[in-house]
Amino acid sequence: MIATRTRLDRFISRETGINRRDVRAMLAQGRIVVDGEVAHDIQQIIHQFSRVSVDGEILQDNQPCYIMLNKPAGVVSATKDKQHKTVIDLIGSTNGVDRDSLHIAGRLDFNSTGLLLLTNDGRWSRNLSLPENNVTKSYRVELEEPVTEKYIEAFAQGFYFEYEDITTQPAELRIVSERVAEVDITDGRYHQIKRMFGRFQNKVLVLHRYAVGTLQLDPALEPGEYRELSSNEMTTISETISINTT
């Protein structure tokens, strides 16, 4: 699988060892097919999900994969870890996609739970995290001390984090009960929600993410379970983000 977009002649040369000058002749002979069409332009752009064949032999036929996982506590949001189980360890075979090709689109802390997205599509995950796309992440938070109305205004104003020298984007806080709140944020700084409540000396006991943009965690998924996103879910989240195809 290629990590970035590349020209057709460079791709063919790398995958076959054929000199790039000879690729032009192969194109003229109609020997190269890209996504079901005979290729003619050596400058045609190939990406990781382009289906490419030469003389009927498939050089690349990767399938995109988009997974929703209900992350349990005590699992690391990483692809590899020497000490702890990772979210990749929870994933089995998914339509023939190699789980080692998956990466995480927006991490959760070790003890945090809820909606985690995994994919092998770097453009899709990158656009989910682009600041200008303002993708909202929604959390349910259980706290040690009561939440009051003053939290709402403070979260809406944002918090200055001296270590990073940044001020967080305005966040929406909704009081659910005395010690339970829902929080929507568009940025995702290190331990951001815990640090925001920490300004009130209020310890976060449980942090659960239930939505990313328009994607809601499937209530049928038990902790540790996962499924691929439906076509409708892909359509709605694609309306939230701008896929960069350049």
The residues annotated with a catalytic role in the active site are 109
Q: E strands along 88-171, which residues?
A: 103-104, 113-119, 137-143, 160-161, 166-167
Q: H or E stretch including 172?
A: strand 172-177
Tokens representing 20 are 């790039």
Q: If you search the block for the tokens 């590899």, which residue do you land on?
A: 80
Q: What is the dihedral of CA 49, 216, 90, 192, to 10 degrees?
A: 100
C-alpha 161 chain-centroid distance? 25
Q: H or E stretch including 127?
A: helix 122-129
Beta-strand relationship, 45-46 and 57-60: unpaired
C-alpha 113 chain-centroid distance? 16
Classified as helix, coil or strand, 195 is: helix
Q: Please provide residue 18's backbone torsions phi and psi, each rounded to the nearest 5 degrees.
A: -75, 140
Tokens representing 119 are 């994919």
Which residues are CB-contacts of 232 (< 8 A; sequence separation ≥ 6)? none
Q: H or E stretch including 234?
A: helix 231-240
